[in-house]
Amino acid sequence: MTNQLAKAAIVYDFDGTLARGNLQECSFIPKMNMTRTAFWDEVKRRTREEDADEILVYMHLMLEKAKMAGEVVTKQMLRKHGMGARLFSGLEEESWFIRMNKFAAEHGLQLQHYIVSSGIEEMIRGCSIQNAFHRIYASKYIYEGDVAAWPGVALNYTTKTQYLFRINKGVENHWDNAAINKFMSETSRPVPFKRMIFVGDGDTDIPAMKMVSHQGGHSIAVYDEQREKNDLEKIHRLISDGRVNFVAPANYERHSQMEIVVKGIIGRIARELN
């Protein structure tokens, strides 16, 4: 029966959306004998000085600082650091995903969850909810054996939109650009944008939010209730500028505002199918 249901998708950023802060800040950066501020300040400085992509710079800096600290960056090491993800309330034991999947199925939809993140894929795969996702698209290293050697994929704020098309067309890899560029009628695409929800937390998600909304889908900006007032004002401007459809606290508990919004969108998607 599941295969007969129309597919819908919730696409999440990770850092600041599903977990508080950046994953690197939990244990990786302290292990490299650096503070969070010092690490990201150096990323910003090198990005400007080298006129480079910020995501590639931070990925390279992680390898450089690890080498200086006598650490070897492996898949297992990155996954271990990802275990410290400070997940927002309601995501424990995948309860949010289970509830949303059940609600969608009751409305004739097969709901799939995706990550599209500038964070490190292996760190995300170390967190307790990684099995809830149909696919994780994130920045990743090229490995020589099990040792990270060089950045292989870097997702920045604009390339995130490419991965929305990969989900839309069912292209479940990073490399097949021919499949992305090949014509595919709207009716034959596995996950139409109209049945897609994008959830992000800030400036780096704006292009993806705007594109999903423009294509007839739905976008939600979430915010950490512990954030400073100025940061919250940036989030609120997203809806006043017409860049997102909804704003809600990053709280995924039962009966939360986030649950009310997402269930409302799923209900709307289901009605449009009939």
| pLDDT, tens only, 223-233 | 888 875 556 67
Average pLDDT, the chain: 92
What's the pLDDT score for residue 231?
64
| Burial of residue 30, with CB atoms counted within 10 A of its CB: 0-12 exposed, 13-18 middle, 19 or more buried | middle
Tell me which residue of 214, 181, 179, 177 sits closest to 198, measured CA to CA.
214
Reply yes or no on whether the pLDDT at 14 is more than 80.
yes
CA dihedral 237, 238, 240, 246 (to 10 degrees): -120
pLDDT, tens digit, 9 for 90 and up, residues 23-34: 999 999 999 989
For the ranges 29-38, 55-64, 215-224, 232-241, the lowest mean pLDDT is seen at 232-241
Reply yes or no on whether the pLDDT at 6 is more than 50.
yes
Q: What percent of the chain has a predicted confidence (pLDDT) above 70?
A: 97
Residues 208/245, Cβ–Cβ less than 8 Å: no
Reply yes or no on whether the pLDDT at 114 is more than 50.
yes
What's the pLDDT score for residue 1?
38
Reply yes or no on whether the pLDDT at 140 is more than 80.
yes
Q: Is 139 helix (H, G, I), strand (E, B) or coil?
A: strand
What kind of fold does domain 2-20+87-273 have according to CATH? Rossmann fold (3.40.50)
Reply yes or no on whether the pLDDT at 4 is more than 90.
no
What's the pLDDT score for residue 241?
75
What is the value of pTM for the model shown?
0.94
Q: Is 45 helix (H, G, I), strand (E, B) or coil?
A: helix
What's the pLDDT score for residue 167?
97
**Averaged pLDDT for residues 140-151:** 95
Reply yes or no on whether the pLDDT at 238 is more than 50.
yes
Reply yes or no on whether the pLDDT at 2 is more than 70.
no
**Averaged pLDDT for residues 135-163:** 95
What's the pLDDT score for residue 230?
57
Q: Exposure string (b/e) for 155-170, b if CB count within 10 Å is 16 or more?
A: bebebbbbbbbbbbbe
- In the chain, domain spans: 2-20+87-273, 25-82
Reply yes or no on whether the pLDDT at 46 is more than 50.
yes
What's the pLDDT score for residue 94?
83
**Averaged pLDDT for residues 147-162:** 95
Reply yes or no on whether the pLDDT at 83 is more than 90.
yes
Question: Given phi > 0 = left and psi -120 to 50 = alpha, else beta, which region is 145?
Answer: left
